[in-house]
Amino acid sequence: MIVDDAVTLPGLDEILDRVRVVAIPLHTRFRGQTVREIAVFEGPEGWTEFSPFPEYEDAEAAAWLRGAIDFGWAPSAPSPAGRTEIMVNATLPAVPADEVERVLAHYDGCRTVKVKVAERGQTLDDDVARVRAARAVLGAEGRIRIDANAAWNVDEAEHAIHRLCEFDLEYVEQPCASIEELAEIRSRVAYMGIPIAADESVRKASDPLAVARAGAADILIVKAQPLGGVSRALAIVREAGLPAVVSSALESSVGIAMGAQLAAALPSLDYDCGLATVDLFEGDVVAPAQSLVPRGGRIPVRRPEVDSDLLARYQASAERTDWWRARLARCHALLAAAAASDLVDPEPTSLL
Q: Enumerate the known binding-site residues for Mg(2+).
A: 147, 173, 199
Q: Does 217 bind ligand 164 (CB under 6 A)?
A: no
Beta bridge partners of 323: none
Would you call 116 a catalytic residue per the annotation?
yes
User: What do you get for the CA distance between the two ends of the chain, in Å?
Assistant: 17
Q: Pick between residue 181 and residue 199 the one whose CB is nearest to ligand 164.
A: 199
Are the C-beta atoms of residues 117 and 160 closer than 8 Å to each other?
Answer: yes
Could you say which of Mg ion, ligand 164, none residue 112 binds, taking C-beta under 5 to 8 angstroms by partner kind?
none
Q: Pick between residue 114 and residue 332 the one whose CB is nearest to ligand 164.
A: 114
Judging by DSSP bridges, how do beta strands 298-300 and 85-87 pair with one another?
antiparallel
Which candidate in 20, 106, 114, 116 is catalytic? 116
Q: Does 331 bind ligand 164 (CB under 6 A)?
A: no
Q: Does 51 bind ligand 164 (CB under 6 A)?
A: no
Secondary structure (3-state) at 203: helix
Q: Does 225 bind ligand 164 (CB under 6 A)?
A: no
E strands present in the chain: 2-4, 7-8, 20-30, 33-43, 46-50, 85-87, 90-92, 112-116, 143-147, 169-173, 196-198, 219-222, 244-246, 298-300
Q: Pick between residue 119 and residue 199 the one whose CB is nearest to ligand 164.
A: 199
The helices-and-strands tally (H runs, E runs) of the chain is 12, 14
Rule CB under 6 A: which of 104-133 touch ligand 164? 114
Give me the least distance between CB of 199 and ligand 164, in Å please: 5
Would you call 114 a catalytic residue per the annotation?
no
Rule CB under 6 A: which of 184-203 touch ligand 164? 199
Q: Which residues here bind Mg ion, judged by CB under 5 A?
A: 147, 173, 199
From 330, 319, 343, 342, select the one nearest 12 (Cα to Cα).
330
Residues that bind ligand 164 (CB under 6 A): 31, 89, 91, 114, 147, 149, 199, 247-250, 274, 277
